[in-house]
Structure 1
C-alpha cells in the first residue's frame, strides 16, 4: 500500500514539476514578446498619429 502511494506521489510530483517549467518558459516568452511589441508601438506612434 505504501509503495503504491509513494509511486503515485513520485509520478505526480514529476509531472507537476514538468508542467511548472513549461508554464514558466511560456510566461517568460510571452512577456518578452509583449515588451518588444510595446516598444515597436511606441517607436511608431508618430507615424500612426499622422
Structure 2
C-alpha cells in the first residue's frame, strides 16, 4: 500500500515539475515576443497617425 502511495506521489511531483518548466518556457517566449514587437512598434512610430 505504501509503495502505491509513493509511486503516485512521485508521478504527481514529476508532473508538477514538468508543468512548471513548460509554464516558464511559455512565459519567457511571450516576454521575448513582446519585446521584439514592441521594439518594432517604437521603430515605426513616426508613421503612425492618430
Q: Is the pair's TM-score, using the shorter chain for normalization, greater than 0.5?
A: yes
Runs (5+) with no aligned partner, structure 1: none
RMSD: 1.3
For 1:49 and 1:31, the matched residues in 2 are separated by 27
* Aligned twin of 2:29: 29
For 1:9 and 1:31, the matched residues in 2 are separated by 33
Would you identify which runs of 4 or more consecutive aligned residues in structure 1 move more than 6 Å? none
Partner of 1:14, secondary structure, is helix
Residue by residue, what CA displacement relative to the aligned partner does 1:20-49 show, whole Å, maximum 9, x if unpaired? 111100000000000000111011000113
- How many residue pairs were aligned? 50
TM-score by length of 1: 0.90
